[in-house]
Amino acid sequence: MIVRRYQSAMLLLCLLSSLACATTPQKPGQSKIESEDQAQELIRLELTHGALDAFIDQGAERGVQAGKRYFEELVKRQIYYEEHLRLREVYRRVFGEVFTQRDLAEAVAPVYVKYLSPKEMVDLLRFYQTPTGSKMLKIQYLLRTERMKEVEKLYQQKKGQLRERFLEEFEKEFLK
């Protein structure tokens, strides 16, 4: 059961990662130094509009899920729902202390520089200053979370079909 959940999660992460990375890489010759400040400004803007809270929430939930068996071994019993919520709050606090807005901006800026030109970053900064852009900043992490849930539901509906088709193709490629 745990292996299946892990496999499902990994497939979902691969799918979402491929969708998230479907952008054009930065053109050769563009100055990464030139756009580093713009990238950090974009990231700070996103972080102040909910991205930091979303990151901390996701990290906290993943931390609790990943450590659940360990925590249960420590207390020598099953973790109850209320304790799960308390553990998540502890993780939230710790994540908020360890992963500062500045740390995240510095860590993620090279990704923005890799995929966005300086002009594209300026355009995004301008867009985020419009009412629609401001709304997008506020809801983008809700959209991502809900998209992930919907993709997981779709995966659950089609995982049997996916497995069958994959095994058919696997047999053609590797067993014949």
Q: Residue 155's pLDDT band (boundaries 50, 70, 90)?
A: very high
Q: Which of the pair, 83 or 18, is modelled with greater confidence?
A: 83
Judge whether 137 and 49 are in contact, CB under 8 Å: yes
Asked if residue 95 belongs to a domain, the reply is: yes
Asked if residue 25 belongs to a domain, the reply is: no
Give the number of other CB atoms < 10 A from CB of residue 119. 11
Q: How far apart are CA 109 and CA 155, in angstroms?
A: 32
Q: Total structural domains in the chain?
A: 1
Half-sphere exposure of 72 (CA within 13 A, CB side): 12
Asked if residue 166 belongs to a domain, the reply is: no
Mean pLDDT of 61-74: 89
Tokens of 139: 């809801």
Q: How far apart are CA 83 and CA 134, in angstroms?
A: 36
Q: Which has the closest alpha carbon to 52: 44, 41, 42?
A: 44
pTM of the model: 0.58
> For 108-120, what is each residue's pLDDT tens digit?
899 999 999 999 9
Tokens of 123: 């355009």
Asked if residue 154 belongs to a domain, the reply is: no
Q: Rounded to whole angstroms, what are the CA distances from 30 to 34, 36, 118, 120?
A: 8, 11, 8, 12
How close are the terminal C-alpha atoms of the chain, in Å?
31
Asked if residue 5 belongs to a domain, the reply is: no
> For 89-147, what is each residue's pLDDT tens digit?
998 998 888 888 888 888 989 999 999 999 999 999 999 999 999 999 888 888 888 99
Q: How far apart are CA 144 and CA 46, in angstroms?
A: 14
Asked if residue 160 belongs to a domain, the reply is: no
Q: Which domain holds residue 74?
A: 31-146
Q: Residue 25's pLDDT band (boundaries 50, 70, 90)?
A: very low
Asked if residue 62 belongs to a domain, the reply is: yes
Asked if residue 170 belongs to a domain, the reply is: no
